[in-house]
Copies of this chain bind each other. A is one copy, B any other.
């Protein structure tokens, strides 16, 4: 694990923040090289599939010309939702590092823990947790002020 990758994911999250999107960023790494980075663009793209993780998976797959992202690791500022967790698992990413945990999201844990045809996956949480949390909290604080 290299903290630097999460720091880059946080920079990606800031791009979402500045576009008034829920601030989530991620980075996909293979053999100590970043092969994709992305940030949430759901509102701008007007489609639920534009979460940071799905965009990054699509970019990494294009780069490797393969849907199998073997030996890849993903760094995400927020615990992935079930859509993204399942995509990460199906893409055979082997390790997930994330910053902030979402306590209402047990299903993602189940997806990662389930033994199936996909590769087994390791999750490591609370990486740069405070910095990741700060952006999310600031975003929702601003939203409440605007109401």
Cα(A137)–Cα(B16), bound, Å: 44
Cross-chain contact B116 with A111 (CB below 8 angstroms): no
> A76 interface residue, CB < 8 Å from B?
no
Question: Are B48 and A57 closer than 8 Å at their CB atoms?
Answer: yes
Residues of B within 8 A of A145 (CB): none
A67 touches B42 (CB 8 A): yes
Chain B proximity of A28: nearest CB distance (Å): 12
A61 at the interface (CB under 8 A from B): yes
Distance, CA A57 to CA B65, complexed state (A): 24
- Asked if A62 and B86 make an inter-chain contact with CB atoms under 8 angstroms apart, the answer reads no
From 9 to 63 in chain A, residues with beta carbon under 8 angstroms from any chain B beta carbon are 42-43, 45-49, 54, 57-58, 61-62
Bound together, the chains give a CA A47 to CA B87 distance in angstroms of 10
A66: chain B residues at CB < 8 Å are 46
- Determine how close the nearest CB of chain B comes to the CB of A30; give it in whole angstroms: 15
**Residues of chain B lying within 8 A (CB to CB) of residue A57:** 47-49
Give the interface centre of A49, A58, A110, A114 by most chain B CB atoms within 10 Å. A49
Q: A82-B111, A110-B107, A111-B107 are known contacts. Are A87 and B48 too (CB-CB below 8 A)?
A: yes
Residues of A within 8 A of B (CB): 42-43, 45-49, 54, 57-58, 61-62, 65-67, 81-87, 90-91, 104, 107, 110-111, 114, 116
